[in-house]
Structure 1
Amino acid sequence: MTSTTTDAYLEPTHEAGRSFVQRDLSGPLVMLNLLRFRDVADYSGHPDLAPSSPISGAAAFDRYIEHTLPFLRETGGDILFLGRGGPFLIGPATEHWDLAMLVRQANVASFLSFARHEGYLAGIGHRTAALEDSRLLPMSEMPLPVAGATS
């Protein structure tokens, strides 16, 4: 079961990056990641990171997480949730995601520091090799409404 769209989204566009920064988000961010893995990881763009024998996209993503966590934590972030996906309960029946991940960052500057970190970027090829498609939605926290409160 795959998505009916033919477009794959693996990296932000320049326009999306500019729009993200211009949103002027303040305070902590939570990044919703939806990930679909390749059956076999494709290390053709990063042969220096390739394992000695083929591995699954899921296994390549595990390598990405192992590589990434120290840099994420160093820049004020952490993984809040990592879970297996599947088909939607509410959503397109033809679309599925293998993994959902929530990543918290202290703020936009911390996220940008992480995304530009030389050590992190040295291992990003594991992510590229792993993914067939992805979505990344930056979210800012908002207060919960208080029951019984009037405006």
Structure 2
Amino acid sequence: MSETYIDPSRANFEAFKDLPRDEPIHMLNLLLYRELAEYPEGHEHAGKGWSGGRAYEEYGKTSGPIFRRVGGEIVWRGTFQTVVTGPDDMRWHDGFVAQYPNAGAFFEMIKDSDYQRAVVNRTAALMDSRLVRFKPGGAGEGF
């Protein structure tokens, strides 16, 4: 597999911050879990033998209340099956689209101290991920 990504680079995060903050956003999340979660030494879940999927469940449980408080909701979720167009080594376990009322809500979430404790579970869980911002568009029959 090529290069992996868990957290945004400084340049990517600056580009995100430079976009409008007062309009709804969709965040495409693609997730590839570790076989065994990698928690920092001394963390309450270190040594429990959790899978990456189990650690991500914990992330969802602990970050979910903050996500909902800022107005976030999941608008689509799916389980990976195969790549139709793309690199042969591209694979994901799960994907979803999170909708936020605006980018400010996303910033509010990630700055929350409870979220900052919860995100350790995400980092422990993931081998690779993508987080891609989109401006929501209309749904319908055409492309």
TM-score of the two chains, using structure 2 as the length reference: 0.89
Compute the displacement of 1:51 (Å).
Answer: 5.5
Larger radius of gyration: 1
Residues of 2 paired with 1:46 and 1:103: CA distance?
A: 31
Determine what percentage of the aligned residue pairs are the same residue.
26
Query: What corresponds to 1:70 in structure 2?
Result: 65
Compute the displacement of 1:49 (Å).
Answer: 3.4
TM-score of the two chains, using structure 1 as the length reference: 0.85
How many residues are treated as equivalent by the alignment?
142
Query: What corresponds to 1:28 in structure 2?
Result: 24
Compute the displacement of 1:48 (Å).
Answer: 2.1
- Structure 1 stretches (4+) deviating beyond 6 angstroms? none
Q: Is the 8 A contact 2:22 2:104 kept in 1?
A: no
Q: Secondary structure at the match of 1:61?
A: helix
Unaligned runs of 5+ in 1: none
User: What is the 5 A alignment of 1:133-148?
Assistant: 133-143=128-138
Q: Is the 8 A contact 2:63 2:118 kept in 1?
A: yes
Q: Secondary structure at the match of 1:119?
A: helix
1:15 and 2:19 are equivalent in the alignment: no
Which residue identity lines up with residue 68 of structure 2 in the other structure? R
Q: Is the 8 A contact 1:49 1:126 kept in 2?
A: no
Compute the displacement of 1:17 (Å).
Answer: 1.1
Query: What corresponds to 2:35 in structure 1?
Result: 39
Q: Secondary structure at the match of 1:42?
A: coil
Query: What corresponds to 2:93 in structure 1?
Result: 98
